[in-house]
A and B are shown apart, each in its own frame.
Chain A
Amino acid sequence: MAKVEIGRIDQLPKRLGKRVRVGNHELALFRTGDGRVYAVENRCPHKGGDLSQGIVSGEYVFCPLHDWKICLKDGRAQAPDEGCVKTYRVAVEDGSVYVEL
């Protein structure tokens, strides 16, 4: 388990995702309306859509390709769709964002 510094919190506008690559991982980072930060695998389980570009609402992101609704907390696609993206633990300390890989 490695903890990697991704960047500063102010690089994350609220409700607009950002993509970041760490080694072989491609993550989508989100700061939700209530200020929480989430990181998920940046690949919709349906057709691999770029989740970082989806519409964010509460703790969900809607995939920009076919509107699958993915929960940022547990990575699960919402019914009627099924599937899951990997989620990563995020920590914000002194304005720096860390992700556990």
Chain B
Amino acid sequence: MKRKLVLVGNGMAGVRCIEEIVKLDREAFEITIFGSEPHPNYNRILLSTVLQGDTSIEEMTLNSWEWYEQNGIRLFAGETVTDIDHEERVVRTDRGRVVEYDELILATGSNPFILPVPGADLPGVTAFRNIQDCERMIEYAKAYKKAAVIGGGLLGLEAARGLLNLGMDVDVIHIFDYLMERQLDPTASKLLQRELEKQGMNFLLRKETAELFGDGRVEGVRFKDGTEIAADLVVMAVGIRPNVDLARRSGIAVNRGIVVNDYLETSVPHVYAVGECAEHRGVVYGLVAPLYEQGKVLAEAICGRKGKPYEGSVVSTQLKVSGVDVFSAGEFMDVEGTESIKLYDEARSVYKKVVVREGKIVGAVLFGDTKEGRKLLAMIERGDSLEALSLSLFAPASSGGKGSLVAAMADADVVCGCNGVTKGAICQAIAEYGLKTVAEVRDYTNASRSCGGCKGLVAELLEHMLGEEANRYAVKETICGCTDLSREEVLEAIKEKRLMTVKEVMSVLGWKNEEGCSKCRPALNYYLGMLYPGEYEEEAESLFVNERLHANIQADGTYSVVPRMYGGVTTAEQLRNIADVAEKYNVPMIKLTGGQRIDLLGVKKEDLPRIWADLGMPSGYAYAKALRTVKTCVGKQFCRFGTQDSTALGIRMEQTFERLKTPHKVKMAVSACPRNCAESGMKDVGVVGVEGGWEIYVGGNGGTHLRAADLLCTVKTEEEVIEMTGAFLQYYRESAHYLERTSKWVERVGLEHIREVLFDVETRRALLERLHKALAATKDPWREIVENERLQQTLFRDIGDKEPVPAK
């Protein structure tokens, strides 16, 4: 029986906690969520950008209706929980619904604080808290001209910026004598004010609101000093209050927020609270990062995996106010006992201040250039001494030391504060998955998913990693994390010590993981096979599934079968045969591949050996790190432009190099003329027929990194093409890293170097000798498996279905 989990509040904190729970244990709970707003969970932080016209409501959705559905979560949006009965363990709603719970999470968030002044309830007075407020402001802007925003904090300034965008005149009223006094020091604040005045905001500082007046709807604001201004719309942005009514009514202990302990438990058993409604060790948090941290701790506890308690969060602010970057953290005010280092560049509107107490960095304010914010925060958290501070921090912002900043950050430094994603995690994801865009980084790591304040930093990291690939980031390229040895060192050791198996290599060379990982095992398997052709026996368990089963695994767990058709040429008999097999095994899709072969898709694993037997054709190696296809055009036999018999040469090349294993897949093509119908310019080896000879191109790639092939040489005869191609492939086999495409390899070792090697007659002869030895040792894998019952049993057959009848 699943336990019943109810979440009250469909906001960022609560739903994030549910996400964590679902990740930990999808099956444990039957989950019900109540949300007063009629929307799925959205990113409230983006409300101001909606108001400013930069984001649509769809774009701010964090979890779509489908997400709830896919995870089997019942969502009652637009329905409010009115009562918790913790004796009976049920909640009741304003629609009379009664839902039982085993565990109950309160994430009721907060309400905007409305000043208790006369006229606060007049039409035209609004808070700025939800989509409805946002829509109301947009409506007002269509009919009226003058707006007043009460509150010069972040929210107020964002609202003001939005109203300016909507074409209104905006007065910002603030009770203190400078803006954002909680996040900025007076200098930074004055700079901000100057910027915002340039944008058209008008500020009324040190003004305390006495009343809002108007006849039927709001017409103006009157202050305690007797002055007044006219306003058709008044936005109150003076703070928030934890929404604790439900908890208080239900007899749960409430202070300013709902009181919780380090595991987010309230005073009532099985009732928890997270987010802005919760008060932990006397603190109520209103920022995203702490709420997410709380969600994680609660999720683990509720799934019965009580781990680290929540011990509070260090808060910092990194915000974008109306296109101006500001950052602050720690003790950033100059008070007695502190000293500070400052850069104040009035001309460029850049201000940086680092506050030091007793030689230790304790706080910082950045204005205009906030790139170093995350790094400073890490230093403050660690309590670094002043010496750790790089002077580059105070270099002018435009001096181009861009890369050096992200490079200087430690791997453990947090880049995305909202989701707690470190530089190390982002770099690893970029490297591992070949990420190219900020959006991809967001999808893989969650960095920049919430407030988006770290987008710039993520972009710089990407630039840093991709621009300087290999050089700066990975000082030494090891095979994988299991060893500190490079490919060259490992190969040397294998040869020198005559290591013959993957296991031997790992134990003799002191692998950190006894059995390696999914990167080094296939790599070592390849290197050993390359070094000991005919001698080394492949280890099925060290192969990636495609090569172990000689078929491509598909997204749904089925496989695809591509038989060999030399040069892309087939016969009526073969086609009939393929059609019969497709029918016999109910193959759901028959498709032509990009390499001119026929692909049978959607085949069950256990059917593979029988399909191969029935086809009676050799494996097309569509799954392998090996020679795949040689694509050809029709050539001079049929084409009126063809200068050479490209089809015949293509077939010959494919038959010659068939089954040759390579560090990565290899595709070839032969075109009969420079019109290049076989697309030879983007293949690992591309041959182009010209009058009286052939051009050989290498290192082309139509894949992720589009690369035009380089002309290696021009030769006269087909023999020479075969010879040059063979030597090229063998040199690639011997000197490339496993999983390095020829495009990357050619760039790494250099075309000139490759030419020097291949054009030396002696070297070429030796390469070809080794190549032929490797080729001589190959066998068609499909036939081998078809003829070997034991291999079929081990690799292709699962254990039959079992009845869920208990054993005796």
Contact = CB atoms under 8 A, between A and B. Distances in A.
Nearest to A25: B804
Given A22-B804, A80-B444, A45 B545 contact: no
Contact of B541 (A23, A47, A49, A55): A55
A56 B807 contact: no
A3 to B, nearest CB: 5
Contacts, number: 113
Given A5-B802, A20-B799, A45-B23, A64 B553 contact: yes
Interface string A31-68: 00100000000000101111011111110101011010
B425 interface: yes
B131 interface: no
Contacts of B639: none
Contacts of A84: 23-26
Contacts of A45: 23, 26
A55 B542 contact: yes
B412 interface: no
Given A18-B798, A22-B802, A56 B541 contact: yes
A interface bracket (residues with beta carbon within 8 Å of B): 35 or more
B806 A3 contact: yes
A82 B421 CA distance: 13
B518 A62 contact: yes
B513 A57 contact: yes
Contacts of A83: 23
Contacts of B545: 53-55, 64
B201 interface: no
B75 interface: no
Nearest to B802: A22
Interface string B781-808: 0000000000000110011111111110
Given A80-B428, A82-B23, A84-B25, A15 B798 contact: no
B798 A3 contact: no
Given A23-B803, A65-B555, A67-B518, A16 B541 contact: yes
Given A3-B807, A79-B425, A80-B428, A58 B541 contact: no
Contacts of B516: 57
A62 B741 CA distance: 23
Contact of A11 (B432, B521, B541, B799): B799
Contacts of A56: 515, 541
A57 B521 contact: yes
B358 interface: no
B806 A22 contact: no
B541 A80 contact: no
Given A22-B801, A23-B803, 18 more contacts: A4-B807, A5-B807, A11-B799, A18-B798, A20-B799, A20-B800, A21-B802, A23-B802, A55-B517, A55-B543, A56-B541, A57-B515, A57-B517, A57-B521, A64-B544, A64-B553, A84-B23, A86-B27
11 contacts: A4-B805, A4-B807, A14-B541, A21-B802, A23-B803, A53-B549, A57-B516, A62-B517, A64-B544, A84-B25, A101-B804
Interface of A: 2-7, 11, 13-16, 18-23, 25, 29, 33, 45, 47-50, 52-58, 60, 62, 64-65, 67, 69, 79-80, 82-84, 86, 98, 101
